[in-house]
Amino acid sequence: MPGKRVVVTGLGALTPLGLDVASYWQGLLDGISGADYIKGFDAEKFKTRFACELKGFSADNYIDKKEARKMDPFCQYSIVAADQAMADSGLNLDKVDRHRFGVVMGSGIGGLQTFYNEVRDFSLGDGTPRFNPFFIPKMIIDIAPGHISIKYGLKGPNYSSVSACATASNCIIDAFLLIKAGYADLMLCGGSEAAVNQAGIGGFNALKALSERNDDPKTASRPFDKDRDGFVLGEGAGCLLLEDYDHAIARGAKIYGELCGVGLSADAHHITAPAPDGEGARNVMKQVLKDANLSPEQVDYINVHGTSTPLGDIAETRAIKDVFGEHAFKLNISSTKSMTGHLLGAAGAIEAIAAILSTHYDQIPPTINHFTDDEDCDLNYTFHKPASRTVNFAISNTFGFGGHNTSLLFGKVKS
């Protein structure tokens, strides 16, 4: 779309592969699985007893202890990812207009651990309502951008977008549009999720959405494999600093790449299942190409939604074939969820980071855990090992329950 150019000048990530962007990226290239048996609670009686948890994270290492106690884990993750993006950007806050610096950070579920704990404790009591005074502020999704803006004194647009698993991508799109339209010069954006708990695992088990491969957690996330049986739940956060191109150049910023276009669509089909023919995914990829003014042949890599569900992987494959034609077989495609699991409302952010870094380093992370070919999934999914190729343009697809579809298109920066 016409308007200001938008570039990426800072990155932050907490993922099951590591607690910073460098560890996350190296873990992807090394093809490491972040899945293991759940350590955060006793999952013995659950149908799924494994997940992709954060490893070694302690909020006390990053946030004042008193303040951390007022936050749900999802909020803690948001703040740490934002801190990393800020540090990575090299910004001097004294030299920017904080009224033109905003935050759009979301979460698919928000303070699920807080909600679970408070309701559990109430139900086990004598009926007297005794709730933590921070119950509501800890639980609500928009508290994360609120905390970030307070910490840094950022007085531009500040809110959350929520669209289930497409949340982080929607937040990135909102931030992009705000800069394009001239409402801001800089935006922190992305998403966070902390749903690996009794309510999260139990709820997704009830939906029959999770893999139940308890005998082999490391290989349970199997996008595009014939024997895939559901996704693996993950947790963490991702944050991008988006910046007006002219603003970034004027301050001599390090630039990872450009956000060239965005796409939004709805399946209008089912609350959890994708449209079987991939119509929503097809429409959103057509839209992102049009928005970026690119032909299908110019795209080199797609970081797909690729959740490892029986229906979703086929629908997305069909959509890619419809949009890209013969070029679909020349693209590199991968699902990094095979390594991180599905971070729900944070997925779009960490996967956008993977797409950005693929253009920055000309490296494509693999899809791991492939054992049996599926005749309906016959594209180049970059199985097992990373690939080296020039990546001028990369797409990141993210889809959410409710039929929400988002697509982001990143490219190398050209003057």
Query: Distance (Å, rounded) from C-alpha 232 to C-alpha 103?
Result: 29
* Per-residue buried b or exposed e for 71-82, using 16+ beta carbons within 10 Å of the residue's own CB: bbbbbbbbbbbb
Q: What's the distance, CA 154 to chain centroid?
A: 23
| Token pair belonging to 201 | 């695992």
Q: Where are the beta strands (DSSP E) in 27-155?
A: 36-37, 50-51, 101-106
Whether 232 and 221 have beta carbons less than 8 Å apart is answered as yes
Q: Is the dihedral of CA 17, 397, 385, 368 positive or negative?
A: positive
Catalytic one among 305, 360, 370, 404?
A: 305
Catalytic one among 52, 75, 147, 165?
A: 165
Query: Distance (Å, rounded) from C-alpha 357 to C-alpha 362?
Result: 8
Q: Is 99 labeled as catalytic in the residue annotation?
A: no
> H helices of 37-134, where?
65-68, 73-89, 112-123
| Token pair belonging to 326 | 């013969």
Catalytic one among 147, 247, 342, 360?
A: 342
Q: Is 171 labeled as catalytic in the residue annotation?
A: no
Tell me whether residue 226 is exposed, middle or buried, using C-beta atoms within 10 angstroms of its C-beta: 0 to 12, 13 to 18, 19 or more: middle
Tell me the pairing of strands 186-193 and 101-106.
parallel
Q: Which residue's structure tokens are 């669209």?
A: 163
Tell me the pairing of strands 101-106 and 387-388.
unpaired
**Catalytic (active-site) positions:** 165, 305, 342
